[in-house]
Amino acid sequence: MVNVLITGAAGMVGGKLADRLIQDGAVSDKPIEALTLADIVAPPARQAAGIDISTHAADLADPGVADRLIAGRPQVIFHVAAVTSGEAEADFDKGYRVNLDGMRMLFEAIRRVGHPYCPRLVWTSSIAVFGAPFPEAIPDDFFETPLTSYGTQKAIGELLLADYTRRGVFDGIGIRLPTIVVRPGEPNRAASGFFSGIIREPLVGKEAILPVPDSIRHWHATPRSAVNFLVHAAGLDGATVGARRNITMPGVSVTVAEQIAALRKVAGDRVAERIVRKPDQTIMRIVEGWPRNFAPERAISLGFRAESDFEEIIRIHIEDELGGTWVK
Amino acid sequence: MVNVLITGAAGMVGGKLADRLIQDGAVSDKPIEALTLADIVAPPARQAAGIDISTHAADLADPGVADRLIAGRPQVIFHVAAVTSGEAEADFDKGYRVNLDGMRMLFEAIRRVGHPYCPRLVWTSSIAVFGAPFPEAIPDDFFETPLTSYGTQKAIGELLLADYTRRGVFDGIGIRLPTIVVRPGEPNRAASGFFSGIIREPLVGKEAILPVPDSIRHWHATPRSAVNFLVHAAGLDGATVGARRNITMPGVSVTVAEQIAALRKVAGDRVAERIVRKPDQTIMRIVEGWPRNFAPERAISLGFRAESDFEEIIRIHIEDELGGTWVK
């Protein structure tokens, strides 16, 4: 029986992870006894037979909060809470407070408990730790020179996770998520939002704006894969992972043109024609600094799997979010 | 006229830097008007005609200290203060407090002043940001996977320095120092201490213990070079340096056998025979994780220079620390 904590459980990935764990009733083949869901706003209440689910609305960066969240000594912690890329760039203080100080508060609370408590801690890093210029496909040992405050905070998190793991405070795994598409819900102001928007909006009969050229290549995986990565990481053998605890996840590298071609193939010409080209210099400049492709050999050898092409990414969105249908 | 702040001014490198600046009376060809020397213990008092020198004993990680140190709005800040490798490993809290929190306190104090204040900030990183396994010579774009808390703190510092520079808070340059030999003074408990000890002690007629095999290769530069690096960095054009603000300094890559051969050549057989081999498994294990050689192309192209061989390193020690003579 294990006790599990998810931070960031009110977010898209954290929420889907909570649903998945409740559905499985187990993590790494161990039945879940208790599930603590925390976020800055209260995560939706959930019910599950046999699992004691509690929800907390609290700021990890506030003194004492992390200690309360680990009061039940969770053996598995998913630290997903973060301020997004756009917000961390717009609000310097908030980004460092949540993405760096909040993380340290959690790590220090675990350290205060001390030996023999040593939970598995799975944390979401990001491909934003890398900064242009890039090779054709970024290898696992590429250096980290982030070009945003968000990427800086994630790169710092990777270093802390590795050092606390080496010290035996917890057994950490950091996973560098691809850009997650297709994000459900309303369009947001994130610079990467259009990668989801040009698929999500046309499928419900709405126009979507494409602010960059068709030739832009990027690295994608579904929300379903993001949850799979987190769950798979929870069960990894630390000794097999070794000292290098932060791992680039697999994904699908496609151009925007290939995204649109896949949408056309899966959903038809009329859907694809709902994409409206409207170049935006600001977004183009941001996106040009982003990674395009990876060679995630370590992740593959450790058993992580993503989608094999962009059509599969679209089909999973239709299946998971649209009940199998769309507006033709 | 410039106003200069040195943190860590009671330490070996910070102290020599203070002496050098006073001797030059200028930095980057600009006369020094005021020099603030700070450390956790009071730096020795110094006098110089025409320079207003003040000393401060204070902990940068304490609230308000950094604000007071930059009250004179120094245009050039040398942030040299740090807990050493051995101490940061032995005392987890102290290492993070000084090497991470103290640095952030300084950076945040500068940010609070705000535009148009934007000093040149030169900071001492370390080759400890790199972790084994290594290529034959570590290139400038090698990834950072430190294997100590000290290396972790320095790698985090590099990320922060780059992000604050990108944000225009200051104009930062991080320099990754080689192991500094020959360190003057008493033997210390640092695992790297023997690299200096096997030169320094025999030259004053004392025995020195060599705890590792002759075949160990490492990366060295003199205290004089360390000061040269700092002074040169203060005058660099930020636009020429670009976004990648942390630079591996040049050095001399030699084996212990080559160190001893150089000592024999410079100072004679009797001096070299004062080295006593006494293998120490703990030190050997630590040293095996350390970098051995670099290809510091960026630093060379930016005009940084170190010694050209280990004989020169020994001669500089004899000149700078022993008044040109030694115990034959």
Model ipTM? 0.95
Taking 90 as the threshold, does the pLDDT of residue A270 lie above it? yes
- Give the pLDDT mean for B181-185: 94
Q: Which residues of A touch B152 (CB under 8 A)?
A: 159-160, 162-163
This prediction has a pTM of 0.96
Which of B91, B105, B143 to mutate to test binding with chain A, by most A CBs within 10 Å of its CB? B143
A227-231, A312-316, B190-194: least confidently modelled range: B190-194
pLDDT of residue A324: 97
- The secondary element (H helix, E strand) that includes residue A157 is helix A149-166
A237 and A146 in a common domain: yes
Provide the pLDDT confidence category of residue A96 given band limits of 50, 70 and 90: very high
Classify residue A232: in a domain, yes or no: yes
A150 and A8 in a common domain: yes
CATH number at residue B115: 3.40.50.720
- Higher-pLDDT residue of A128 and A186 is A128
The alpha-carbon gap from B159 to the nearest alpha carbon of chain A, in Å, equals 6
- Give the pLDDT mean for B168-193: 91
Classify residue A287: in a domain, yes or no: yes
- Give the pLDDT mean for B134-152: 95
A142 and A262 in a common domain: no
Classify residue B109: in a domain, yes or no: yes
- Give the pLDDT mean for A9-14: 96
B93 touches chain A (CB under 8 A): no
Which tokens is A28 given? 């790494």
- Give the pLDDT mean for B178-195: 88
- Give the pLDDT mean for A316-322: 97
A197 touches chain B (CB under 8 A): no
Domain count, chain B: 2
Q: Which residues of A touch B143 (CB under 8 A)?
A: 141-144
Q: Is there a contact between A322 and A272 (Cβ–Cβ < 8 Å)?
A: no
pLDDT of residue A282: 86
Q: Which residue of B has its CA nearest to A89?
A: B167
- Give the pLDDT mean for A73-78: 98
Look up the domain containing B59 and give its range: 2-180+221-248
- The secondary element (H helix, E strand) that includes residue B115 is none
- Give the pLDDT mean for B108-121: 97
pLDDT above 90 coverage of chain B, percent: 93
A320-324, B217-221, B279-283: least confidently modelled range: B279-283
Taking 90 as the threshold, does the pLDDT of residue B249 lie above it? yes
- Return d(Cα B76, Cα B171) in angstroms, integer: 9
B157 touches chain A (CB under 8 A): no
3-state SS assignment for residue A259: helix
pLDDT of residue B309: 98
Q: Which residue in A241, A251, A112, A226 sits closest to A172, CA to CA?
A: A241
Beta bridge partners, A295, equal: A139
A140 and A91 in a common domain: yes
Q: Which residues of A touch B145 (CB under 8 A)?
A: 162, 243-244
Q: Which residue of B has its CA nearest to A167?
A: B149
A122 and A107 in a common domain: yes
Taking 80 as the threshold, does the pLDDT of residue B124 lie above it? yes
pLDDT of residue A106: 98
The alpha-carbon gap from B157 to the nearest alpha carbon of chain A, in Å, equals 9
pLDDT of residue B286: 82
pLDDT of residue B288: 85
Taking 80 as the threshold, does the pLDDT of residue B311 lie above it? yes
Share of chain B residues as helix, strand and coil, in percent rounded to the nearest 5: 40, 20, 40
- Higher-pLDDT residue of A161 and B288 is A161
Q: List, in order, residues 6 or more apart from B246 with CB less than 8 Å away.
A: B125, B158, B161, B162, B174, B175, B176
Residue B112 CB: number of other CB atoms within 10 A?
A: 12
Classify residue B232: in a domain, yes or no: yes
Classify residue A302: in a domain, yes or no: no
- 226-245 in A: which are within 8 Å (CB) of B? 243-244
Q: Is there a contact between A125 and A176 (Cβ–Cβ < 8 Å)?
A: yes
- Return d(Cα B187, Cα B317) in angstroms, integer: 15
- Give the pLDDT mean for A216-242: 97
pLDDT of residue A186: 83
Q: Is there a contact between A226 and A180 (Cβ–Cβ < 8 Å)?
A: yes
pLDDT of residue A115: 94
Q: Are the beta carbons of A243 and B142 separated by less than 8 Å?
A: no
B201 and B74 in a common domain: no
Q: Is there a contact between A117 and A162 (Cβ–Cβ < 8 Å)?
A: no
A90 touches chain B (CB under 8 A): no
Taking 90 as the threshold, does the pLDDT of residue B282 lie above it? no
B265 and B139 in a common domain: no
A266 and A232 in a common domain: no
Q: List, in order, residues 6 or more apart from B2 with CB less than 8 Å away.
A: B27, B28, B30, B31, B32, B33, B74, B75, B76
Classify residue B153: in a domain, yes or no: yes
Taking 80 as the threshold, does the pLDDT of residue A97 lie above it? yes
The alpha-carbon gap from A211 to the nearest alpha carbon of chain B, in Å, equals 25
pLDDT of residue A287: 86
- Give the pLDDT mean for A28-32: 96
The alpha-carbon gap from A44 to the nearest alpha carbon of chain B, in Å, equals 36
Beta bridge partners, A79, equal: A7, A123
The alpha-carbon gap from B125 to the nearest alpha carbon of chain A, in Å, equals 15
CB pairs under 8 A between A and B: 50
Q: Which residues of B touch A132 (CB under 8 A)?
A: none
A149 touches chain B (CB under 8 A): yes
- Give the pLDDT mean for A225-232: 98
Q: Which residue of A has its CA nearest to B92?
A: A167
B166 touches chain A (CB under 8 A): yes
**Beta-strand runs (E) in chain A:** 2-7, 26-27, 30-39, 52-57, 76-79, 120-126, 138-139, 171-177, 179-180, 208-210, 217-221, 246-248, 252-255, 275-277, 294-295
A165 and A213 in a common domain: no
CATH number at residue A261: 3.90.25.10
A285 and A226 in a common domain: no
Q: Are the beta carbons of A243 and B144 separated by less than 8 Å?
A: no
Taking 90 as the threshold, does the pLDDT of residue A244 lie above it? yes
Nearest to A142 among B143, B149, B166 (CB): B143
User: What's chain A's average pLDDT?
Assistant: 96
B274 and B240 in a common domain: no
B203 and B88 in a common domain: no
Q: Please name the residue that has the structure tokens 């220079």.
A: B305
Q: Pairing state of beta strands A26-27 and A30-39?
A: antiparallel
Nearest to A143 among B92, B142, B146 (CB): B142
- Return d(Cα B61, Cα B63) in angstroms, integer: 6
B150 is catalytic: yes
Classify residue B298: in a domain, yes or no: no
Q: Which residues of A touch B131 (CB under 8 A)?
A: 243
Classify residue A53: in a domain, yes or no: yes
pLDDT above 70 coverage of chain B, percent: 100
The alpha-carbon gap from B63 to the nearest alpha carbon of chain A, in Å, equals 17
- Give the pLDDT mean for A137-162: 96
- Give the pLDDT mean for A158-172: 98
- Give the pLDDT mean for B215-235: 97
What DSSP line would sit under A51-68, residue for residue? Answer: -EEEEEE--TTSTTHHHH
Q: Please name the residue that has the structure tokens 């058993």.
A: A303
Q: Which residues of A touch B147 (CB under 8 A)?
A: 166, 243
- Return d(Cα A10, Cα A18) in angstroms, integer: 9
A175-189, B95-109, B147-161: least confidently modelled range: A175-189
